[in-house]
Amino acid sequence: TFSGLRNAIPRVVELDLQYYQVNQGKRRLVSARLYFSELCTTLKPLHFGGNEELLELMEGHGIYPCDVDIRGDLKSHNYILKVHYYPLTWFHLLNKFEFGGSVYFVYFSIVGMLSGILGGFVWGVNRLMTKLRHPPPFHGWTLAKLISAPPWLGCSIASIPVGFCLSMVYVWFGSASPEPLENPSALSFEGIDGTWISSSILDGKRIEQNRNGRIGTALLACGLYLTLLGASLIVPEFRGNPEDAAEERTEDKEDKESFTKSSSGWDPTTWKRAHFIWTSLSLE
Contact criterion met (CB below 8 Å) for 207 and 184: yes
pLDDT tens readout for residues 218-236: 999 999 999 999 899 888 8
User: What is the largest distance, in Å, between two alpha-carbon atoms of the chain?
Assistant: 95
Distance in angstroms (rounded) separating the CA atoms of residues 278 and 270:
12
- Measured over the CA atoms of residue 118, residue 122, residue 123 and residue 127, the dihedral's sign is positive
Sheet containing 64-65: give its strands across.
64-65, 26-41, 8-23, 80-87
Q: What is the pLDDT of residue 2?
A: 46
Q: What is the pLDDT of residue 125?
A: 92
Q: What number of other Cβ atoms are within 10 A of residue 235's Cβ?
A: 18
pLDDT tens readout for residues 124-135: 998 889 888 888
Query: 46: which DSSP letter?
Result: G
Q: What is the pLDDT of residue 180?
A: 75
Q: What is the pLDDT of residue 243?
A: 57
Q: What is the pLDDT of residue 14?
A: 95
Q: What is the pLDDT of residue 222?
A: 92
pLDDT tens readout for residues 225-268: 999 998 998 888 766 555 555 555 555 455 555 555 555 567 78
Burial of 58 (0-12, 13-18, 19+ CB in 10 A): buried
Q: What is the pLDDT of residue 159?
A: 92
Burial of 173 (0-12, 13-18, 19+ CB in 10 A): buried
What is residue 33's three-state secondary structure? strand
Distance in angstroms (rounded) separating the CA atoms of residues 220 and 226:
10
Mean pLDDT of the chain: 84
Q: What is the pLDDT of residue 170?
A: 87
Share of the chain above pLDDT 70, in %: 88
Q: What is the pLDDT of residue 255?
A: 52
pLDDT tens readout for residues 135-180: 888 888 888 888 888 888 988 998 999 999 999 988 888 777 777 7
Please name the residues in contact with 34: beta carbons below 8 A apart, sequence gap of 6 or more: 1, 3, 13, 14, 15, 16
pLDDT tens readout for residues 170-198: 888 877 777 777 777 777 877 788 777 76
Listed residue (271, 278, 274, 268) closest to 238, CA to CA: 268
What residue spans of the chain are helical by DSSP H? 52-60, 90-95, 101-129, 140-174, 204-234, 242-248, 251-261, 268-283
Q: What number of other Cβ atoms are within 10 A of residue 194's Cβ?
A: 16
pLDDT tens readout for residues 9-61: 899 999 999 999 999 899 999 999 999 989 998 888 888 888 888 888 888 88
Q: Is the pLDDT of residue 279 over 70?
A: yes
Q: What is the pLDDT of residue 191?
A: 78
Burial 101-112 (b: 16+ CB within 10 A, else e): eeeeeeeeeeee
Q: What is the pLDDT of residue 254?
A: 55
Quote the pTM value.
Answer: 0.53
pLDDT tens readout for residues 61-81: 888 888 888 888 888 889 999
Q: Is the pLDDT of residue 1 over 50?
A: no
Contact criterion met (CB below 8 Å) for 97 and 104: yes
Contact criterion met (CB below 8 Å) for 39 and 11: yes
Distance in angstroms (rounded) separating the CA atoms of residues 148 and 139:
14
Q: What is the pLDDT of residue 282?
A: 87
Distance in angstroms (rounded) separating the CA atoms of residues 280 and 274:
10
- Amino acid at the residue 114: L
